[in-house]
Structure 1
Amino acid sequence: MSGGYYVSGAERARKVGDLFRRIARRYDFINDIQSFGLHRLWKRRVARLAGVAPGQKALDVCCGTGDLSMLLASAGAQTIGVDFTPAMLDVARQRLQRLAAKKPRLDLTFCLADALKLPFDDGQFDAVTIGYGLRNLADWREGLREIWRVTKPSGRIVVLDFGKPQNRIWRWLFFQYLQWGVPIYGLLFCGDAAAYAYILESLEHYPAQSGVAEAMRELSCRNVAVHQFFGGVAAINYGVK
């Protein structure tokens, strides 16, 4: 059902880009349904862990429709959100226009960029976040290295994504939900079951919270921590450069 999105290199990037182009307009709505609205709470937790203060610089990688970027900017940070799917950025900019009417002083810019080749110098940002994006990259380790590269010394790196529960029964139930439940939502509300079946396919090839924590330590991150939700179905990886 997933359409074989998990392939190597540039071909995977092309397929994933096409996937997000197709679902961009309904992305937020289906995220609310499949997570029962909890993704919004988890993203607020990411923003708190990022700990940005007014005048600091924040980068939100794979920003999608921009909700996490807007949380960082609302905390007063000079924020840039980057994504490689123009359709997702179109939605993000439309949302920003509506938010700017209420919060006209937000310092937030969205730009098109490849997470594996971020167009920024080393050590530019006080905090770098990525929500539900690292798992989708053609090379997640290279993506994490790029995030580390553009983070300032003592800056915070915060990664939110689906997780893999340690409890075997809970993991099986969660994977059944991803295999059957979530694609049904995609079919009913987006007309595209395959796009949402991809979540399980990508997660099966992703080391999730334990692997990301190990990779952060290999990059010499300090204060590495994992914050898990609902027994590990979602998790935040945190580290300090």
Structure 2
Amino acid sequence: MSRSYYQPGAQRAAQVEDLFAGIAPRYDLLNDLQSFGLHRWWKRRLVALAAVPPGGRALDLCCGTGDVALAFARRGIPAVGLDFSQPMLEVARQRTRRLARPGRTLPVEWWQGDALHLPFPDGHFDAVTISYGLRNLADIPRGLAEMYRVTRPGGRLLVLDFGKPQHPWWRAVYFFYLGKVVPLLGACFCRNAPAYAYILESLQHYPAQAGVTAALRELGCTEIALHNILGGAMSIHCAVKPAQGSN
């Protein structure tokens, strides 16, 4: 397990793209195994917190195999899922085709693109979400700024990701699980332990709950709410882009 996928700076994106290209076929299986299936509930909660109004639309960044964008679409909310990994997007497209029914097309589009340079105009979406992707960006403040830019005034920005528990013993147990057990699952089911060792490595460099809250506040977001899950092992940030003319 000598290879490290975590690289600071400009090399970060290439390493992360290589990582996800390699694990795309079994990404969903490993998510279920390492989270005991709970990630599905956390993503449903994220979608509910987005509170997209009737006629609104959502953007899910770093969408991976499409869980969140498809969850919006199943609710009848037009959604765009954007990711830079073509193999992950292909899995998302396959899932969409399997879920389609005669006479019913899910309102979802899949775009390949860079979360740091979004190909959308200002204020285009009623909600912008990112799940387990913010840690992977080479420039986290820029990624949040792009989310803010394409969110309409009064819309919501939401971030779901791994967290850093405050309680010392729970953090130690949790980091042991991420550092030892999760890479073992990666080795057994993907033959790629380093790809799953990356989770803890990236988390150690991630600003997590306090840092993301501060960054959202710096952007000018209001109604910033932090929802800690499993004692802070996971967290959801939910914030509002102020309506035009509000203070």
Alignment TM class, shorter chain as reference: over 0.9
**SS at 1:180 equivalent:** helix
1:9 positional shift: 2.9
Q: Which residue of 1 aligns with 2:63?
A: 63
Structure 1 stretches lacking a partner, 5+ long = none
- Once the two structures are superposed, residues 58-89 of structure 1 have per-residue CA deviations (whole angstroms, 9 ceiling, x without a partner) of 10000000010011112222211000000000
Q: Which residue of 2 aligns with 1:107?
A: 107
Say if 1:54 and 1:75, in contact at 8 Å, map to a contact too: no
Say if 1:60 and 1:129, in contact at 8 Å, map to a contact too: yes
Equivalent residue pairs, number: 241
- Once the two structures are superposed, residues 199-235 of structure 1 have per-residue CA deviations (whole angstroms, 9 ceiling, x without a partner) of 0000000011111111111111111011111100000
1:106 positional shift: 1.9
Say if 2:4 and 2:194, in contact at 8 Å, map to a contact too: no
1:5 positional shift: 2.4
Distance in 2, matches of 1:127 and 1:164, equals 25
1:53 matched to 2:70: no
TM-score norm. by structure 1 comes to 0.97
1:197 positional shift: 0.1
**SS at 1:115 equivalent:** coil
- Once the two structures are superposed, residues 68-120 of structure 1 have per-residue CA deviations (whole angstroms, 9 ceiling, x without a partner) of 00111122222110000000000000000111127824210001000000001
Q: Which residue of 2 aligns with 1:182?
A: 182
Q: Which residue of 1 aligns with 2:231?
A: 231
Q: Which residue of 1 aligns with 2:42?
A: 42
Q: Which residue of 2 aligns with 1:206?
A: 206
Distance in 2, matches of 1:33 and 1:103, equals 34
Structure 2 stretches lacking a partner, 5+ long = 242-247
What are the within-5 Å matches in structure 2 for residues 1-241 of structure 1?
1=1, 3-101=3-101, 104-241=104-241
Distance in 2, matches of 1:195 and 1:110, equals 24
TM-score norm. by structure 2 comes to 0.95
**SS at 2:7 equivalent:** coil
Q: Which residue of 1 aligns with 2:244?
A: none
Counterpart residue type for residue 135 of structure 1: R
1:156 positional shift: 0.6
Distance in 2, matches of 1:167 and 1:230, equals 11
Distance in 1, matches of 2:103 and 2:51, equals 20
Which stretches of structure 1, 4 residues or more, deviate above 4 A after TM superposition? none
The more displaced of 194-203 and 100-109 is 100-109
- Once the two structures are superposed, residues 136-171 of structure 1 have per-residue CA deviations (whole angstroms, 9 ceiling, x without a partner) of 111111111110110000101110000000001110
1:189 and 1:169, CA in 2 relative to 1: closer, same or farther beyond 3 A? same
Counterpart residue type for residue 183 of structure 2: P
Distance in 2, matches of 1:5 and 1:52, equals 35
RMSD: 1.2
**Aligned-pair identity (%):** 57
Counterpart residue type for residue 224 of structure 1: I
Distance in 2, matches of 1:165 and 1:84, equals 30
Distance in 2, matches of 1:150 and 1:168, equals 38
1:168 and 1:139, CA in 2 relative to 1: closer, same or farther beyond 3 A? same
Say if 2:96 and 2:106, in contact at 8 Å, map to a contact too: no
1:102 and 1:134, CA in 2 relative to 1: closer, same or farther beyond 3 A? farther
Say if 2:21 and 2:87, in contact at 8 Å, map to a contact too: yes
